[in-house]
Amino acid sequence: MPSPYLLDVDTGIDDALAVAWMATHPEVDLVAATSIFGNVNTRQAARNTCDLLALLGRGDVPVAAGPDAAMGRRLGEDAAFVHGVNGIGEVELPRAGRDPEADLTAAEMIVRKAREHEGELHIVAVGPLTNLGLALQLEPELPRLVGKVTTMGGNVLVPGTNSARLDANTANDIDAAALVYAADWDITMVGLDVTMRNVLHAEQRARLESDGNRAVSSIGEMLRFYFGFYETIFGSPQCALHDPLAAAIATGDIVPTVAPKLPTFVDVSDGPEQGSTVVDARTMWRGFDIEPEDANVRVVLECGEDFGALLTERLLEV
């Protein structure tokens, strides 16, 4: 039987890839999606999510929107220069027949689905962690109710994106991220150490854009904009696969080769490292054979598969 998942997104372009991965996966029961600001504002992220789900034939999946502001400090900003003003590369999707839930917030949706699927729900959060932070405040028993959590964010041995030490998702609500990583649940962090090393190439993007499926070709078209930004980073036509890689690790299609459980927290001080994800990786010198007593987060540091090729082939099967 498919397992229940909830996808928390700030639907920009790489989020669209994650939505497509989760919505069409044969072993995923996507019970809900929730939206948050980050790549775009929360309302636009919800609209993008609804429209994309409908185009993928999953208009039945309920979408609940989160707040317009961080629950704590926000050190980032919307990323139109990366994803376009509408978040999806200025591609216009057909309007879905279903709107975001009018009477249910994202945090309330998370708590509701956790209660409905007690001990089984896997939350995949690939945007700022505001909705999860608010859900933890709403229901202190949430870590017991949720089966697993996979997040996209953080960096251990590589530089950040928003600054030398800060990734975009954590930066957009550092206090929510601190709350989420401190909670007592089975949590895996998929960060820049692996997402910047798993890329989609130009020929793969072109295959998606030329596909006969409207949803897949639209994603291929969105990626043109994303490639434009990432060419300034990589110096060649390719893009990082942040959110879909986290989704693929959550579904078990990509199995990390190095993913130790390590002491992890977010620096909420007012110092120069404010907002950075601090991971104590000193056991690396013994091959991570030792799990520290205060280890609390499974941290993905390496995964050897060519995810760009796997993602392309999977989407072309939709």
Q: Can 294 be counted among the known catalytic residues?
A: no
Catalytic residue among 25, 117, 122, 242: 242
Cα–Cα separations (whole angstroms), residue 198 to 195, 207, 254, 306:
5, 18, 11, 7
Q: Which two tokens stand for residue 209?
A: 């854009």
Q: Can 10 be counted among the known catalytic residues?
A: yes
The residues that are catalytic are 10, 242
